[in-house]
Amino acid sequence: MKTIGIGIIGGGLMGREMASAFGRWCALTDVEVQPELVAVADLVEDVRNWFQRVPSCKQLTADYKELLANPAVDVVYVAVPHNLHEKIYIDVLEAGKDLFAEKPFGIDLASAKNILDAGKRTGRFVRCSSEFPFFPGAQRVIAAAKSGKLGRVLQVVSGFHHSSDLDATKPANWKRFSRTCGEIGVLGDLGMHACHIPLRLGWRPQRLFAQLQKGYPQRPDGKGGMTACDTWDNAMLHCWTTIDGNEVPMRLEMKRLAPGETDTWFLEVLGTEGGARYSTKEPKTLWLFEGGKEQYWKKTDLGFGMSFKTVTGGIFEPGFPDVIQQMWAAFLMEREGKLADRFGCATPEEAVGTQEIFAAALASQSSGQAVSL
């Protein structure tokens, strides 16, 4: 196993999730790389102190430039508020490190393009985080879409719903303000999850009409007062795309105010002869549609059929930490040129593609018209 030194900038929700994926790397049986968390930079002392439980993590610093100067760091994963993406991502690349970026890859389209350019200029390996396609069910929907057995595709629905923002008493954090989350709001927060597979399959929207909704205008500020919140919380994008020469309606849904949904990622492709549907609400279950004189929805439990093999028994069900680990395996193996025919992480070009969709959605919302991309 080749050891790769990892540095994390931003040790919050996602920074800790990634550290735990490295901690149980022994679960993977067919990877040739071993990530080792060696450094963490975060502004908050308590956040940094959590990483003391990782013995290999020798550097804890408030200054990410110190992490970038550490020769033991080969790859930097960055999970910070969106207004900081562009500056920190470009600093990582200019320090000669490879970058595993978080979505939405900059606060807006211009920012995403600057990061893409910096990646090309420095020649570093860059990918963007998007873990849901690594669920076995998602991979099977992709396979069904590529199989040619669905007939003429009639519709695509891809989305991500949660309801974290339904609780009006939840204090505001940086995701509730345009200045830190971006004017794109929920599009930047959840949009990569909805757009990644359509873009990978070449299903780029050519035209879209957006319905964007805001959440509560005020929230507790966590200090006894209230603060104004201005981000979009829900987005429905009604798109046209072209599949096999046919114009096909595609709906991309991103919601932070979805009653009843804790954290649900879903993808459905329906054609004249077949269809496939997967949702993390039933994480081991795949639905396949069979056309004909009589029509059937067939349901099967997939078990743990991951791209990278593991010690976990094939009958068990996969979860969020598993797909995070699979995504890292894909990142590190692709960096070594050993991904083979497995699914790879979102590319910088795909990340820019998502931001083109988000920019068109903002333009559509403000004009009330459909917008061409």
Ligand X SMILES: NC(=O)c1ccc[n+]([C@@H]2O[C@H](COP(=O)([O-])OP(=O)(O)OC[C@H]3O[C@@H](n4cnc5c(N)ncnc54)[C@H](O)[C@@H]3O)[C@@H](O)[C@H]2O)c1
**Binding positions for ligand X, rule: CB under 6 A:** 9-14, 41-44, 47, 64, 79-82, 84, 102-103, 129, 131, 189
Measured CA to CA, the distance from residue 127 to residue 75 in angstroms comes to: 11
Burial of 111-121, coded b for 16+ CB within 10 Å and e otherwise, reads bbbbbbebbee
Q: Kindly state the smallest distance separating residue 10's Cβ from ligand X, in Å.
A: 3
Percent helix, strand and coil across the chain, each to the nearest 5: 35, 30, 35
Q: Kindly state the smallest distance separating residue 296's Cβ from ligand X, in Å.
A: 34
What's the start-to-end Cα distance of the chain, in Å?
A: 45
Q: Kindly state the smallest distance separating residue 246's Cβ from ligand X, in Å.
A: 32
Q: Kindly state the smallest distance separating residue 190's Cβ from ligand X, in Å.
A: 9
Q: Kindly state the smallest distance separating residue 45's Cβ from ligand X, in Å.
A: 10
Comparison of 38 and 248: residue with beta carbon closer to ligand X:
38
Comparison of 83 and 139: residue with beta carbon closer to ligand X:
83
Token code pair at residue 59: 């550097």
Q: Kindly state the smallest distance separating residue 245's Cβ from ligand X, in Å.
A: 34
Q: Kindly state the smallest distance separating residue 42's Cβ from ligand X, in Å.
A: 4
Rounded (10°) angle between helices 85-94 and 109-122: 0
Tokens 């590319």 sit on residue: 347
> Are the beta carbons of 128 and 236 closer than 8 angstroms?
no
Measured CA to CA, the distance from residue 16 to residue 222 in angstroms comes to: 23
Q: Which of 41, 28, 49, 33 is nearest to 76 (CA)?
A: 41
What values do phi and psi take at 283, rounded to 5?
A: -65, -20
- What secondary structure letter does DSSP report for 337? T
Comparison of 10 and 133: residue with beta carbon closer to ligand X:
10
Q: What angle do CA 309, 310, 314 make, to 5 degrees?
A: 90
Comparison of 14 and 373: residue with beta carbon closer to ligand X:
14
**Residue 159 CB contacts under 8 Å (≥ 6 apart), including other chains:** 194, 251, 252, 253, 254, 255, 265, 266, 267
Q: Which of 29, 32, 24 is nearest to 4 (CA)?
A: 32
Name the closest residue to ligand X (Cβ): 12
DSSP characters for 15-74? HHHHHHHHHTGGGBSS-SEEEEEEEEE-S-HHHHHHGGGSTT--EEES-HHHHHT-TT--
Comparison of 144 and 233: residue with beta carbon closer to ligand X:
233
In DSSP terms, 77 is beta-bridged to 8, 100
Q: Kindly state the smallest distance separating residue 85's Cβ from ligand X, in Å.
A: 7
Comparison of 82 and 161: residue with beta carbon closer to ligand X:
82
Q: Kindly state the smallest distance separating residue 286's Cβ from ligand X, in Å.
A: 22
In DSSP terms, 3 is beta-bridged to 34
Q: Kindly state the smallest distance separating residue 240's Cβ from ligand X, in Å.
A: 28
